[in-house]
Amino acid sequence: MNNIGIAINPSKDRDNKILNMVIQKLRKKFDFKDISIFNSYDIEKQDLSHIDLLIVLGGDGTLLGIARALKEECDVVLLGINIGNLGFLSSVEISEIDYALEKLEKKQYEIVDRMMLKCSVKSSGENEELKALNDVVLARGTLSRMVKFKIFVDGKIYSTFKGDGLIIATPTGSTAYSFSAGGPFIYPDLEIITITPICPHTKSMQTIVLKGDSVIEIYTENEEEKIYLTVDGQKAVEVNQKTSVKVSKSEKNIKLLLFDDYDYFKVLRTKILNNSKECDGEEF
């Protein structure tokens, strides 16, 4: 890790106190002279080809946005340091910065791959390509009626149902909107895709777990009312009745740096299931 960059969410650190503190500690620990600083809002316009490790200072939304913005040829490793709210995707909290730098110095970490989704939205001869680390969601507008969904998996009809929406999630995204809609937790290292309905009008439509190389195609009907496609809860596009939405595994994974004592189940308990810290290590 010779070339290090920092991506900062300026809305989380308006006076640059956190950024300056992290830079100071990095230079003291590693004697870095040149540390590249990036604004997370326009990361897609920046050249990251010379960066080995990108420290992401923000919350889950910041890391999700950066993951989508990285170019296909970019092989940078992301280290999330949470200065936001939930921070489920982050490796550590900002209060643990000294611990994190100590681990980096001793090389006590591993680099893991997390699968992403690619989404092709084809309408009236035009094709828009989107990426997602968490999920792709198709849902009705705020005041619209239920949507009729027709779902194909690998070219075969899977289901037709009416409901408020549909969530196609990665294992990383299984703890996000998919979980709120009743989907299962999926261990993040697996390459699996889940399809979870949002408020289906029939109980016959349940979450299905598919192999990672499945190709999912969706058509929607909503009597000309508004339907939206959203990736990672951040970028939304309106789709119409003649739109084909195709979702599959992206060719490129995202690389995350996790320290060697990272405990997924501890993070799951404390950040998602809301168990108190007093329960950590408790035997049953």
The verdict on whether residue 169 carries a ligand-binding annotation is: no
The verdict on whether residue 260 carries a ligand-binding annotation is: no
The verdict on whether residue 176 carries a ligand-binding annotation is: yes
The verdict on whether residue 234 carries a ligand-binding annotation is: yes
CA 159 to chain centre: 26
The verdict on whether residue 162 carries a ligand-binding annotation is: yes
The verdict on whether residue 16 carries a ligand-binding annotation is: no
Q: Which of 31, 21, 108, 30 is nearest to 57 (CA)?
A: 21
E-strand stretches of 53-95: 53-58, 77-82, 92-93
The verdict on whether residue 164 carries a ligand-binding annotation is: yes
- 34, 47, 60, 280: which is the annotated catalytic residue? 60
The verdict on whether residue 27 carries a ligand-binding annotation is: no
Which residues are paired to 5 by β-bridges? 36, 54
The answer to whether residue 60 is catalytic is yes
Binding-site sequence positions = 60-61, 134-135, 145, 162, 164, 175-180, 234
Instruction: Please enumerate, by residue number, every residue annotated as part of a binding site for NAD(+).
Output: 60-61, 134-135, 145, 162, 164, 175-180, 234
Positions marked catalytic? 60
